[in-house]
Every structure is written in C-alpha cells, then in structure tokens.
Structure 1
Amino acid sequence: MSLERIDIEGTFNFRDIGGSPTSAGDSTVSRGKIFRADGLAQLTDRARADLGSLGVGTVVDLRDIGERSKLPDALTGLDVEYIELPIFGDHFFPTTPLSREEMKAAAKATGMDLSDRSLGRIYDLMIAHFGDRLALAVDTVAAHAETGVVFHCSAGKDRTGMVAAFLLDLLGVGRQDIIEEYAITSTHLSGGFLESITRNFSDAGISGNLAETATAAPPELLDRILDQLADEYGPRGVEDYLLAHGMDPATPDRLRSALLGPAASAEPA
C-alpha cells in the first residue's frame, strides 16, 4: 500500500490511492491514475509541471463555494478539466458566512443543524444528508480514472477521505487497509500544514477546534461510519449505500476495470 505523500509544491497531503491489495489477494489497485489531495490554491509553476508529468487530466474540487472563491485552485496553464463538485452542496461554506439567525432558519428549512461542526457531527451530516453528492463524486472519479484524476477538498481529509474510502471499498480493498490509508493523513497534516492553515487558510472552510478539525483523522471515526453502513445496508454497505443515493450501477465495474491489476508475485524463498 502506498501511504507516502507525493511532493507537489504547495500541498501537504497529495498522494496516490493505488498500491493496496484487494482483500481477496488476487489484485492490487493500480498506481498513477487516481490521486487525492488537500487544497491546490498554492501550486507553484514546478507543482503544475509535476501534475502534468503525473498525467492528471481532471481535477475534481469537493469544496464549497466559499472555499473555492477565497482560495481558487491555481491551475492556470494546466491542460486539465476542472470540475466543481461540492460534497456539502455549498451549504457549509457559502460565499458569505451565515449569522446565527440564518443558521437557525437554514436548520429549520433543511433539517440540518450546521452550528455543531465537531468532527463526528460533520461525518454524520455527510452520510445522512449528502449521499447523493458522495455518489456523484465516486461516479465522476470513476469516469475519469483512465485519463488521470485528482480529487481534493481543503485539507484532503474528511470529504476527500470519505470519497477515497468509498473508492477503495468498491475496489475490494480490505477494511484495515482502508482505515490505515485514511488515518495516515494525520501524519501528513502535522507541523507545516497546521502552521499554513492557521496563517493562510483560516477562512477556507476550516472552523471550530483548528487542530482537531484541520488535522485529525481518527481511525475509529471511519471505522464507525463503515460499520454503520454495513448495519444499515448489509454486507456491501458502501456499494449499496451509494447505489441507494444514485450511483451509476456501472461505476464499480468501471473502477475495477480501470484500476485492478494482478497482485504482485511473492518473492522466491
């Protein structure tokens, strides 16, 4: 499994989701096709050249409009398709922050109380209210896997982490490997990222307890979500949850066709 970050200037959590074996042990997720990342607003000329050399043809931005407008992706000069696909449907981070009264009115209208932005609550809201957006994100990444795609949010942790976990689950990667791939984010976002987010990104969708919200990726949180989906939807919890929320039924096979290669042979004794 590949857990190392790729050194793309201006990012802290850019990495390839490939490298994991399937739980059956007969295939390995191909590298060099699907990447996940934190924000791309600070890309340098060198970083853009590196993205081009990686073969990235599509960038899927999972952030809300408030985040995108304040820190737009620095993609000028890159020959890529840029797709805005806000997982939170532009509800969490609108262009102008909502007042307390506006939050109360929105909660009454949508059934979503957005005043509590603790990490666990964010995940619960994502699963309960934005399944259609998660399904669309998985469809979109799968549709561009053959030509190289990177998907990202602000920290590359929660929205990005959930989409990555769902993609790996559909590819047949085992639960422990999925959780390990998710949790390594905490290591990549320590130190320099927290300093950067504090200095430059404080109004780019990071709120609440900064250290927790911006950098924590507790394995037990994702484990709980995956357990919840299995309880509610059965053994194929992730796949059936996504199908129930509009995922193209052809997406799992499309992903597997694009990304599953033979497992690496064991070294001779």
Structure 2
Amino acid sequence: MTSEDLPPRRGESRVGTGKVYRSDGLAQLTDRSRVDIRALGIRTVVDLRDVGERSKLPDALEGLEVEHIELPIFDDHFFPAKQLSREEMAKAAEATGMDLSDRSLSKIYDLMIGHFGPRLAMAVDVVAQRCEGGVVFHCSAGKDRTGVVAAFILTLLGVGRHEILEEYAITSQYLSGGFLENIIRNFSDAGISGNLAETATAAPPELMANILDSIDAQYAKNGVESYLLEHGMDPASPDRLRGQLLTPADREETVRD
C-alpha cells in the first residue's frame, strides 16, 4: 500500500502514500528499523496476531513512542494453521462448522471471512481512526490477515479490483530467501504447523479474488462495505479513510518508501 501511488480512483482522486502501512511481524526490529519507523511518522502499531503468537514473539517496540493495539483476527485456539489437540479441534469445529484438519489457505480465508467479520470490521475502524497520524498493521507474515484488511481498505477507497490483486501479490516477492526462513522459523516458534511452505509463502491473487467475489455476490449492494457494516464497522469509517488517504490526482506528493 505504500511503495507508490495507486492509479486514480473516485473521479480525480488517487490513493496517497505515507500514512498506512502493512507489514509482517515486528519481533525482530533492528535499530535501523526503529529509525525508519520514526522517519515514517508511524504512531500506531496494530497487531492482528492471536495471544499465543504475541506471547512467543512480541513486537520489539522498545524506545518507540507508538500506541500498540492488540486486535487478534482469530481466537487463539481457532487459528487454523496451529497444531490443535483433539479437544481443541472438536471445540473449534463445533463453533465454526468447519473441519480445521484442512489447513489449506483457502480454508483459512473462508474461516476468516465467514466467522471473524467483526474483527475485520474493527481492524478497519482502528486504521480509519488513526491513519492521520501514521499506522502500521501486521500479522505474522503480513499477507493473510493483513492482506485481507488491506484489500478491504483499498476497496473502500475505490481502488479497482485489478490493482488490489496486484498489491496483494507483491507480498510473494518478499517471501523468499532469508526472509522466508525467518518467517517459517517464527511460525514454528509460535506453534503454527500444517503446510508451512504454503502457509508462509503463498499469496495467490486468485485466492483474494475469490474472497472479494464471494462477498460481492452475497452483498450485491456495495459488496465489501456492506459486509463490514453488517459486521459492526463504524458507518463513518469509509469517509474517514477517503478523507485522509485520497488526494487529488494532479497534486504532487512526497512519496515515502
């Protein structure tokens, strides 16, 4: 959402940069990273991970004057990439109506959209309330929970579907080499098992497209916005986001990357 301006949308407006960022986990911040966070003007960190993930790999925010908001998308024992006991599996299956022995990405996304809509709506609200001061939101790899929230925000801003899918797919460029090894190690340390290669590395645009298409099909009027409103989003949040993040297309801005 931040490397460069997305194409103009909503008439003569485009999505500006330098206010909202998505990221992977912040447990391994270096001194240089902290300097960068200060330079970017980030004042709020929204952590979308569950309690277990946070306790094993807490964000390393020492020395930073930021508000840290814990807003887990999944309940700790429902996160479908984790190794669950039989009792936990039965409890999760009863609550969600889903077979969590299937740890595929498509099932993770189905669970997120179908059962944790209020958490997603709350995440959008928090970003809308704090984006004026600079906000970063993250999960573990920065692509699934974080990717869905980013796609929802871009949709509310009027960005086209093609551009949203391109933005989501960018994640795969960073999930390789040493970074990938760190992500897989972090997942393992946090107790996340299943197909680590897929869970940690895959960001297929068609998966996000299917999620957004299914929401559009279910909510014929305004799609994502109607979905979020039904799940408790503040009705003022879309206008807050547009007011803070949309700029005239012909206005020159300093892009922070």
TM-score by length of 1: 0.87
CA deviations over 1:50-86 (Å, ceiling 9, x no partner):
1011000000000011100000000011000000000
* Structure 2 segments unaligned to the other structure (5+ residues): 253-257
* CA–CA distance in structure 2, aligned partners of residues 219 and 236 of structure 1: 21
Q: Among 255, 259, 267, which residue is 2:245 paired with?
A: 259
Q: Superposed, which structure 2 residues align to 1:152-231 within 5 Å?
A: 152-204=138-190, 206-231=192-217
Counterpart among 6, 14, 26 of residue 40 in structure 1: 26
Cα distance change, pair 17–170 in 1 and its aligned pair in 2 (3 A): farther
Partner SS state of residue 180, structure 2 = helix
For residues 109 and 200 of structure 1, do their structure 2 counterparts lie closer, same or farther at Cα, with a shift above 3 Å needed? closer
Q: What RMSD, in angstroms, separates the aligned Cα atoms of the two structures?
A: 2.1
CA contact (8 A) 1:40 1:74 kept: yes
TM-score (norm 2): 0.91
**Structure 1 residue 246: Cα displacement:** 0.4
Off by >4 Å, runs of 4+ in structure 1: none
1:99 aligns with 2:117: no
The answer as to whether partners of 2:42 and 2:134 remain within 8 angstroms in 1 is: yes
Q: How far is the alpha carbon of 1:30 from its aligned partner?
A: 1.3
Q: 1:98/1:239 Cα in 2 relative to 1: closer, same or farther (>3 Å)?
A: same
Q: Deviations over 1:166-203 (max 9, x none)?
A: 00000000000000000111111122222212344413
> 2:24 corresponds to which letter in structure 1?
D
Q: Deviation string for 1:126-181 (max 9, x for gaps)? A: 01000000000000011000000000000000000000000000000000000000
> SS at the partner of 2:76?
coil
Displacement of 1:263 in angstroms is 0.9
1:39 maps to a residue whose letter is: G
- Structure 2 residue matching 1:82: 3-state secondary structure: strand
Unaligned runs of 5+ in 1: 1-14
* Cα distance, 1:89 vs structure 2: 2.8
1:140 — aligned with what? 126
The match for 2:255 is: none
Distance 1:191 1:220 in 2: 24
Count matched residues: 251
Instruction: Give distance in 2, aligned partners of 1:98 and 1:112.
Output: 14
